A and B are shown apart, each in its own frame.
Chain A
Amino acid sequence: MKLFLALFLALPLLAQLQVAALDGSTERPATTQWDFGAVPAGEPRETRFIVRNASSSAVTVTRLAVEGAAFALFNEPSLPRIIAPASTAPFSIRFTPPAAFPYVGRLRINDLTLDLRGAGTVSLALEVLAGEAGSALTNGQLLDLGETQRRAPLTARFRLVNRTNSLATADAPSISGDSFRLDAWSGARNLTANESVLFSVVFQSDSAGVKEALLHAAGRDIRLRVTAQELPTPRPSLSFTAQTLENARQERLSINLESPASDDVSGTVTLQFTPASGLVDDPSIAFLPAGTRFTSFRVRAGSAKAEFNGADALSFQTGSTAGSIAFTVALGAHRTQQTFTIAPARLAVDSAQALLSDQSVEFRLRGFDNSRTASRLRFIFYLKNGQALAQGPIDLDASAAFNNFFSANPGGVFFLRVHFPVSGTASELDSADVEFTNAQGQTRLERLKW
């Protein structure tokens, strides 16, 4: 009766604490015992546990210990430890069988006890090979096999060796994990003393990153790790249809790689315009046909030439403003830049037209002034007899007209219309010279004839 009463009173206390083993993030309840399974003699197997307070009031853990020579507690909390309702405390147990025998132990948490079991086994040694030299691997070990490039295979060689004096069976290893596979396994067989059998693990991945797999061999679980690097991108270089750039040009750039790309790759090319001192941005300096300053390109696997929407070159226009134009290519980790400087220059006329009527003379001139400093115009008129008009050159200060126009418009392009009223008949006029002045000097046009 006394024993029954004691058990009856103890049950709620025991039920307060619950133990579970952690397999990754999965909890596996351990109610009365936990079995570590078969472990190669002399090698550890570690398991993480939690103890949970399943009651509605806090519990103070004053005792947490394991018994048994093959079992060791580690990563345990300091005691006493108060565990709030529904909270947990973690700890770990390492099972290291000294010999090939079964082992028992006990876990004690306050008044809670849990039987611990495990068995040491005679096992083959598992070694990873570097040349002919082998390094022994133990259960649970992380083996970093190093780095390789994406798509490039990496092979690691392993050896199972019978270090005992008895016959032992080399069972087939297994591996789990994307991009890893077993190779060169000759099949399960019995090994005599010091006899060995080889196998390989081959890694090959289409994607870059750190990859892991779990190799199971000779009763051991070995974590394998390989870092797959992105394929190296060849360095790009820029080439242009012109050695130097001038305003009002359409040129083309192309991008070549120092060696063919091993995979399809894409990059970007950026145009940046920095206007010369005192000038403003010029939106006409841009890639064609979209009129943007940023575009992308692709390089096909096996090719060393960039494609821009299927074309092997990218057109751009140089606008009408002095400054520097920088082209930056970004491809993988590479950045390549080339900068052209367009200096302030004398005014340039793209087309000129002279119209004549009885009452007026009109000039229509289309061009650009990349420093936006146009000022004086000079007109020299010639008669049909070849002589200059006795009236002499006519100077016209167009500073205000140009200043007003440029202050409201970006870039240096202009369409200039100059109108001269005529007294009398102008039919004897034959031609005219037109001269522009800006901060960089004078520009004289080819003689305009009517």
Chain B
Amino acid sequence: MKPALFFLLPFLACAQVETPRLGVLVDAQSRLRSLYGIPGALTLSLPESDDEALSAAASQTCAVSKTSSSVRIQCAGKPVQTMEAPPGPALFAFLPDGRLAAVYYESTSDLLRFPDFTPRLFPGVVSLTARFLLLNHDGALSRYDLAAETETPLPEATLPAVLLDDGAVLDRRALPESEIPSRIDPFSPGLLLIDRARLFRIRDAALFDIPREAPLP
């Protein structure tokens, strides 16, 4: 048997306990609020600023919001970056470690990938992850792999739809008829937030857990 060429250093291990943050949302008054807890034990923070947010998203470590003219990134509760942005809402993607991966401006179709900020034009993005884009070509959906730079048609998929982290597409076929929102979007107010394998429907700054037995891709 080949011996392991490494070992763990338990005496240097550290355990850190925090409040779980599921995400952020923009409430009915366009204020940014964080969602804490786990399904069935959720609390909503007080408004985190008076700025009027158009879009917002968060990982456990960072939150990002889009106002009419800027994108603001906060990590560990502290502002880390503010940058100018075109008007209108935006979509966001995070890396698995919680850092911001990409911003997509709907008004200009610009995709801005981090950390090099290379802008690239992608018309019709309806959802994105750190690696994939979901593109809408006049109702025909396709998945674009940013790493491989390949595009795969998704003839079965229908709007509203959203990408999961692994590139799988969740569309209305996966939802119970009574739970279908008008648009599936993890980052817009009043719609849907996806946290890995579970779904949360957000409405007017409140949250409903779609039943756990709901089929998922």
Given the interface pairs A366-B20, A411-B41, the reply to whether A420 lies near B8 with Cβ below 8 Å is: yes
Inter-chain contacts of B12 with A (CB < 8 A): 420-421
Is the CB–CB distance between B5 and A428 below 8 Å? yes
Interface residue count on the B side (C-beta < 8 Å): 42
Q: What would 9 more interface pairs be, CB under 8 Å, given A367-B38, A391-B8?
A: A288-B207, A290-B206, A291-B206, A381-B8, A396-B10, A414-B20, A417-B17, A423-B7, A425-B6
Compute how far the CA of A285 lies from the CA of B10 in the bound complex, rounded to whole angstroms.
37
Is the CB–CB distance between B19 and A409 below 8 Å? yes
B14 within 8 A of A: yes
Name B40's closest neighbour in chain A (CB-CB): A248
Is the CB–CB distance between A318 and B41 below 8 Å? yes
A200 within 8 A of B: no
Q: Mark A400-420, 1 if CB is under 8 A from B, else 0.
A: 011011000101111111111
Given the interface pairs A361-B8, A389-B4, the reply to whether A411 lies near B40 with Cβ below 8 Å is: no
Q: Mark A409-450, 1 if CB is under 8 A from B, else 0.
A: 101111111111111111010000000000000000000000
A351 within 8 A of B: yes
Is the CB–CB distance between A416 and B96 below 8 Å? no
Given the interface pairs A250-B209, A401-B15, A415-B18, the reply to whether A394 lies near B10 with Cβ below 8 Å is: yes
Contact of A415 among B2, B19, B41, B205 (CB under 8 A): B19
Is the CB–CB distance between A396 and B13 below 8 Å? yes
Interface size class of A (residues with CB under 8 A): 35 or more
Q: Mark A210-251, 1 if CB is under 8 A from B, else 0.
A: 000000000000000000000000000000000000011110
Inter-chain contacts of A387 with B (CB < 8 A): 1
Smallest CB separation, B46 vs chain A (Å): 12
Is the CB–CB distance between A405 and B17 below 8 Å? yes
A398 within 8 A of B: yes
Is the CB–CB distance between B9 and A284 below 8 Å? no
Smallest CB separation, A271 vs chain B (Å): 14
Smallest CB separation, A44 vs chain B (Å): 70
A43 within 8 A of B: no
Compute how far the CA of A305 lies from the CA of B40 in the bound complex, rounded to whole angstroms.
25
Name B12's closest neighbour in chain A (CB-CB): A421
Compute how far the CA of A224 lies from the CA of B202 in the bound complex, rounded to whole angstroms.
60
Contact of A289 among B13, B18, B37, B204 (CB under 8 A): B204
Q: Mark A36-64, 1 if CB is under 8 A from B, else 0.
A: 00000000000000000000000000000
Inter-chain contacts of A247 with B (CB < 8 A): 40-41
Is the CB–CB distance between B13 and A420 below 8 Å? yes
Compute how far the CA of A317 lies from the CA of B159 in the bound complex, rounded to whole angstroms.
30
Name A364's closest neighbour in chain B (CB-CB): B60
Residue pairs across A and B with Cβ atoms less than 8 A apart, 16 shown, are: A247-B41, A318-B41, A320-B40, A351-B197, A368-B38, A377-B15, A389-B8, A396-B15, A398-B15, A411-B37, A413-B20, A413-B41, A418-B15, A419-B15, A422-B7, A424-B4
A323 within 8 A of B: no
Is the CB–CB distance between B8 and A248 below 8 Å? no
Compute how far the CA of A417 lies from the CA of B9 in the bound complex, rounded to whole angstroms.
16
Contact of A398 among B1, B4, B9, B17 (CB under 8 A): B17
A14 within 8 A of B: no
A315 within 8 A of B: yes
A84 within 8 A of B: no
Inter-chain contacts of B60 with A (CB < 8 A): 364, 415
A69 within 8 A of B: no
Is the CB–CB distance between A413 and B36 below 8 Å? yes
Contact of B13 among A250, A389, A391, A421 (CB under 8 A): A421
Is the CB–CB distance between A288 and B208 below 8 Å? yes
B183 within 8 A of A: no
A277 within 8 A of B: no
Is the CB–CB distance between A350 and B7 below 8 Å? no
Is the CB–CB distance between B17 and A404 below 8 Å? yes
Inter-chain contacts of A368 with B (CB < 8 A): 38, 41
Given the interface pairs A290-B206, A350-B39, A420-B9, the reply to whether A385 lies near B1 with Cβ below 8 Å is: yes
